[in-house]
Structure 1
Amino acid sequence: MSDAPQLDLATVFDAMPTSYAVLDPDLRFVAVNHAFLENSGRTRRELIGRPILEVFPDNPADPGTRATANLEASLHRVLRTGRPDTMPLQKYDVAGPDGVFRARWWSPVNAPVLDEDGRVVLLLHRAEEVTDYVTERLRQRPGSAVDLYDALRDVPAERHQAEADLYVRGQELRSALTTETAEAQRLAGMVRVALRLSGAQSVAELTDIVIGSGLGVLGAGGGAVAVRASADGGPDELQLTLTDSLGERARRTFARIPLDSPLPVAVAAATGEVVVLRDREAALASTEQMEEAVTSTGLGTWVSLPLQVAGRSLGGLTIGWREPQDFTGRDFELMSAFAAQCAQSLAAIQAREQERRVAGEQRRLSEALQRSLLTAPFEPDHLQIAVRYLPAAAGAQIGGDWYDCFLAPTGVTTLVVGDVAGHDRDAAAAMGQVRNLLRGVCMTLEEPPAAVLGGLDRAMRHLGVGVIATAVLAQVEQTAAERAAGLRTLRWSNAGHPPPVLVAADGTARLLHTRPDLLLGLLPEAERADHATTLHPGATVVLYTDGLVERRDAPLQDGMEWLRATLEQLHHLPVEELCDALLARLDGPLGDDVALLVLRAHPEDGPRPAEAGPQVLPPTAPGAAPPLGGR
């Protein structure tokens, strides 16, 4: 046995520079290290044995951050799964000894401690404070702290972690170098570069920062960023961006090189090893291809470092100097930290680009599915129908909104607007199922709207369409007596959907408020009610989804009142123009899709108005009744 002293794990735990706490399965403190006590401003006596959520409650002045709820959810995920859980950046304010809460930002990680049987017996909670990082981002970003928090909250957790890690790495460099003036200046410059790298939005921007600023901080005469890529389905290659100082000849010669090239940057990218060529002689002796690099650039000393994240090779970074260099251990620490920063930024950029590609493809597929179902409406005699579908501004926010209009076998004009819960292609696909089911149920039952929605709910349960949806189903009916009087009846049932709007011929608009029935997909046996109102000549009915009236910072009731008042202002417009004018008045980017269906009952004491266009009826099955209800 070695004579080395026994390892005191408690001492090691207490000496760790990052805040750590150990919790039991009831989320009570079991142990904390010195860094945790310093960061939290608490003593061990104030912590040990007490629940973490009790000791660190939400800031009552800022309840919207849900800090304790987010932390509790993460800790319970670890308890349930037995796997570590990395949380997104969290705004978790901590009260000082004076009881005043101060804004604090953290990058938390929670991990399980398992017994021999694989059961979670303890939880390890790491709380890396990144308040300085967020403060710097706020300084660089115009707007308020609320705007910054909203922007950070909508970004994927992986990107938060990458950017925070970049900043933390930059801060760690402070302890890697001495306080000597030259090194302090290099450190300050490298931290500035690290912050710029964290905000890079493209590979081109990243390489501009690296070769335009980072290499200068290192005192280099030039260099290149090599990004790994596939060459049109062939073997991997490296795409290099070189500094201007290396000259046009070098940029042409080394724009692309195979990954298996003997050049140092390719070796570093392929093997994960740092390649050091300390002088011109060493460079020329390394491989024949280095003669061209040395001759065309005038650089004799080279260091090539891998760009890696989590063991995955992203490429390489090569740095050159004109004169021989006597590298110290700190020089290599600085270059390695710089390469790590480049790799983290490159990984974040590539992840964002992949997210955009996937989101764009999902968007195209979902929109194609939606638009294939949202067809042009038919035009029964003296009834005019106009429809619109407006996608949300956010690329990932594809929803299950739909409209539909068709003739029931009885000839009744049937109108539907609905919204399947969710914002992805699964929601769009489920929307197609629900829409087609509703058509089939309506055609089979030949019943009023409430009965049709009840039949749809039962069909969804039996066929395993496991979604939740809202909808308004309306039917336009007309008896012989109503025809003689020029009147019609609008009968509808509402399954948890925003109420329709009825606009009279004189422009008076009112919301058809009723007590909405239960959403579809929850309880198929729930009772549903029909409601009816008279449609006078010139009346307009507006059905819509909540994207038209929902606003992030306003109650839904305000949005519906805005719609009612706006329709009063626009009532004189032809139906198609009314739809366009209404959508044009939406303020700011949409947070959700909008489906809109507008029906106008023109007077029947004359020909169909020219503004309504020609009559267009769907094909009538042989033996079906004539479309009385649609007139």
Structure 2
Amino acid sequence: MAEAEIDYAAVFQALPGMVALLTPELVYADVNEEFLRMAGRTREQLVGRYLFDVFPDNPGDPTANGSRNLQASLQRVIATGERDTMALQRYDVESAERPGEWEERYWSPVNAPVLGPDGRVAVLVHRVEEVTELIKARGARGSSRPQVLEAELYTRARELQALNERLREAHAREREVALALQDAMLPAPGPVGHHRAAVRYQPAMGTLNVCGDWYDLVDLPGDRIGVAVGDVVGHGLHAACVMGLLRSALSAVSRVAEGPAQALEVLGLYARSVEGAENTTVVETCIDWDTHIITYSCAGHPPPALLRTDGTVEFLDQATDPPLGARPDHVARPQATTPFTEGDTLVLYSDGLIERRREDIDTGLARLADALTRHLGTDPEPLADALLLDLLPAVGATDDTALVIVRL
């Protein structure tokens, strides 16, 4: 027996709850019949219009924050690709019959993403439960116990909203401190001989998703430099402190180690004594202009990219090993070499540049290789800006990104 075709448009319209489909620009793409009924609006008043043009905050209430909270939730969904369930919201609505009059309304919203083929959010599903009647029970229900419970529910909801506001403020302060610490620990690099290099640190959008990544460039004896990029597991102020310890340690040991592998071995032993340093990823390279050889070793980190002058891209992935502290016993780390020619470009980066949720890492590496090829011949400084513009999400990255580019 053949399966019956499902009319999904009819199913959407018949859904019992309020559901709207929004574009990433927060414009109504479609709404179901229940949404129209409960919102007191026609389809023409909604579809094709910006959400907050249709439903702004009550201008007569200086404490109104419904639109701000809803916009923050929707932006989180766009940035993370994850569903967001909001706390109970008071969000007054202007009366359709009596313009200028605002009706006290309470809502329980859930926002969910629909991803497109590229892994980015293509549509937002905005589902809302109207709970005004529950909160504002009057008249026929009298002063019974249910009304008391509803009043308690409203009070607890307002307390939860206030707590959320305080937490956001505390997280924002932590972010400011962490970024200041990060800026002090990751200054612009000094001259690396006569060679051109560019560095970037791009913090994450969220208040806590910041300060785990670092970069380092050091002069070595002869016409050589060491270049490293690392990523501490975790975020926030503690991750920034761990990052500072590891960066300083690697910067020191790379000056006396026999090569990148030995430098990472020593750093791995040190990481065992630093709380929060376990499973840090790092890649260390040594560029030797006398021999035109790059020596490298990688501890669980994405491979450096070598852009050749002919436009081909080689990923340096022949010396990969687990992150720092991942093994219970000490084991020598691998090391590999590759030749380069004058005019090649070496690119080291952290995973924030290439990784996306629900996407294979090879897709991100291919995206990086394509961007490098398109910008062949670009100097390091403009190339760094171009890569961040091309590869990071337009709405803000959810992970921080470190980037180092050296013209060889």
TM superposition score normalised by structure 2: 0.66
Residue identity in the other structure for 1:460: A
Q: Deviations over 1:580-608 (max 9, x none)?
A: 1111113343121110000002xxxxxxx
- Cα distance change, pair 495–351 in 1 and its aligned pair in 2 (3 A): same
Query: What is the rounded CA distance, in whole Å, between the counterparts of 1:361 and 1:580 in structure 2?
Result: 28
RMSD value, Cα: 3.6
Q: 1:591 aligns with which of 398, 402, 406?
A: 398
The equivalences for 1:471-490 within 5 A come to 471-479=282-290, 482=291, 488-490=292-294
Asked if 1 retains the 8 angstrom alpha-carbon contact of 2:212 and 2:233, the reply is yes
The secondary structure found in structure 1 opposite 2:209 is coil
Residue identity in the other structure for 2:271: M
- Cα distance change, pair 447–337 in 1 and its aligned pair in 2 (3 A): same
Asked if 2 retains the 8 angstrom alpha-carbon contact of 1:449 and 1:491, the reply is yes
Q: 1:394 aligns with which of 178, 183, 206?
A: 206
Asked if 1 retains the 8 angstrom alpha-carbon contact of 2:175 and 2:210, the reply is yes
| Cα displacement (A) at 1:198 | 3.9
The equivalences for 1:457-496 within 5 A come to 457-462=268-273, 466-479=277-290, 482=291, 488-496=292-300
The equivalences for 1:120-139 within 5 A come to 136=17, 139=19
- The match for 1:90 is none
Which structure dedicates a bigger proportion of its chain to helix?
Answer: 1
Q: Deviations over 1:195-245 (max 9, x none)?
A: x25459xxxxxxxx99x99998747xxxxxxxxxxxxxxxxxxxxxxxxxx
Query: What is the rounded CA distance, in whole Å, between the counterparts of 1:464 and 1:148 in structure 2?
Result: 33
Residue identity in the other structure for 2:318: T
Query: What is the rounded CA distance, in whole Å, between the counterparts of 2:144 and 2:221 in structure 1?
Result: 80
Identity in percent: 29
- Cα distance change, pair 434–135 in 1 and its aligned pair in 2 (3 A): farther
Query: Is 1:520 aligned to 2:324, yes or no?
Result: yes
| Cα displacement (A) at 1:463 | 5.8
| Cα displacement (A) at 1:149 | 12
- Cα distance change, pair 140–329 in 1 and its aligned pair in 2 (3 A): same
The structure whose Rg is larger is 1
- The match for 1:112 is none
| Cα displacement (A) at 1:408 | 3.1
Query: What is the rounded CA distance, in whole Å, between the counterparts of 2:238 and 2:383 in structure 1?
Result: 32
Residue identity in the other structure for 1:139: V
Query: Is 1:563 aligned to 2:375, yes or no?
Result: no
- The match for 1:553 is 358
Structure 2 residue runs of 5 or longer lacking an equivalent are 1-14, 24-29, 31-73, 91-102, 111-129
| Cα displacement (A) at 1:399 | 3.9
Query: Is 1:503 aligned to 2:310, yes or no?
Result: no
| Cα displacement (A) at 1:506 | 2.7
Residue identity in the other structure for 2:241: A
- Cα distance change, pair 437–372 in 1 and its aligned pair in 2 (3 A): same
- Cα distance change, pair 531–478 in 1 and its aligned pair in 2 (3 A): same
| Cα displacement (A) at 1:152 | 11
| Cα displacement (A) at 1:407 | 1.3
- The match for 1:580 is 385
Q: Deviations over 1:127-169 (max 9, x none)?
A: xxxxxxx974x6267589xx999799765xxx87x649x9xxx
Query: What is the rounded CA distance, in whole Å, between the counterparts of 1:215 and 1:417 in structure 2?
Result: 53
- The match for 1:429 is 241
Query: What is the rounded CA distance, in whole Å, between the counterparts of 1:329 and 1:594 in structure 2?
Result: 57
| Cα displacement (A) at 1:439 | 1.6
The secondary structure found in structure 2 opposite 1:379 is coil
Query: What is the rounded CA distance, in whole Å, between the counterparts of 2:252 and 2:216 in structure 1?
Result: 13
Q: Deviations over 1:67-115 (max 9, x none)?
A: xxxxxxxxxxxxxxxxxxxxxxxxxxxxxxxxxxxxxxxxxxxxxxxxx
Q: Deviations over 1:270-318 (max 9, x none)?
A: xxxxxxxxxxxxxxxxxxxxxxxxxxxxxxxxxxxxxxxxxxxxxxxxx
Worse-superposed segment, 585-594 or 412-421: 585-594
Query: What is the rounded CA distance, in whole Å, between the counterparts of 2:275 and 2:172 in structure 1?
Result: 29
Residue identity in the other structure for 1:599: V
- Cα distance change, pair 521–565 in 1 and its aligned pair in 2 (3 A): same
Query: What is the rounded CA distance, in whole Å, between the counterparts of 1:537 and 1:348 in structure 2?
Result: 60
Residue identity in the other structure for 1:468: N
Residue identity in the other structure for 2:375: L
The secondary structure found in structure 1 opposite 2:235 is coil
- The match for 1:37 is none
Residue identity in the other structure for 1:390: Q
- The match for 2:265 is 454
| Cα displacement (A) at 1:526 | 1.8
Query: What is the rounded CA distance, in whole Å, between the counterparts of 1:504 and 1:513 in structure 2?
Result: 16
- Cα distance change, pair 468–345 in 1 and its aligned pair in 2 (3 A): same
Query: What is the rounded CA distance, in whole Å, between the counterparts of 2:135 and 2:320 in structure 1?
Result: 65
Structure 1 residue runs of 5 or longer lacking an equivalent are 1-133, 167-191, 201-208, 220-327, 483-487, 602-631
Query: What is the rounded CA distance, in whole Å, between the counterparts of 1:420 and 1:403 in structure 2?
Result: 12
Q: 2:173 aligns with which of 329, 341, 361?
A: 361
Q: How many residues align?
A: 309
